Amino acid sequence: MPLDKPNPQLLTLRFKCHKTTVLLLVDPHDNLTSIKAKLLEALKVTNVSEIRGQPLPTEPDNVLLGVPVDMNDPAQGWTDLEIPEVEDDTRKKGPKKSGVLNASPMGAGMKDGSMLAFRFRSEASDADDLNMGDDEWDVVMPTFDDEEGSQTKETDAV
């Protein structure tokens, strides 16, 4: 849904998967499920049907988000943004509590221009996806060769 007027309270977030980067303008109080839905919609509108051979999921719940371990150096790896729900030990019954990071970008401490990784949950093994290490986040950061003055591919260095 296009915005009529720019709003200085909105955040621009960068979502990265492999070499794909999507910029989204989001409200800092939006929940992460609605942001995932906006991400999927942005990918569909730009005619992206798959990333690295993996098709786009139909449900926002099948999109996993990650944040850099070190915001100043994304090469150090990524960690899951969403904290698994845990039961409160003081109450044996009742709803599960979720972490503050599950709530919104504001709750996660994101600022304008924050970078997030995204990947798709495989429908075959949901439990295995939750236990993936940070090396499973497929984010290719551009590198620049000072001598040649041009951008080089990470695969060329390997």
Is the model's pLDDT at 120 over the cut of 70? Answer: yes
Task: Read off the pLDDT of residues 50-103 as tens digits, 9 standing for 90 and up.
Answer: 998 899 999 999 999 999 999 888 889 999 987 666 555 555 554 454 555 557
CA distances from 104 to 35, 36, 101, 108, 111 (A): 9, 11, 7, 6, 12
pLDDT of 134 reads: 42
- Residue 123 — pLDDT band, cuts 50, 70, 90? low
- Look at the block and give the residue holding tokens 């150096």: 73
Rounded to an integer, what distance in angstroms lies between the CA atom of residue 102 and that of residue 125? 22
pTM tops 0.85 = no
Residue type, 138: D
How large a percentage of the chain has pLDDT more than 70? 66
- Decide if 79 contacts 134 (C-beta within 8 A): yes
Is the model's pLDDT at 18 over the cut of 50? Answer: yes
* Tokens representing residue 47 in the block: 């005619």
- Look at the block and give the residue holding tokens 């429908």: 123
- Decide if 60 contacts 40 (C-beta within 8 A): yes
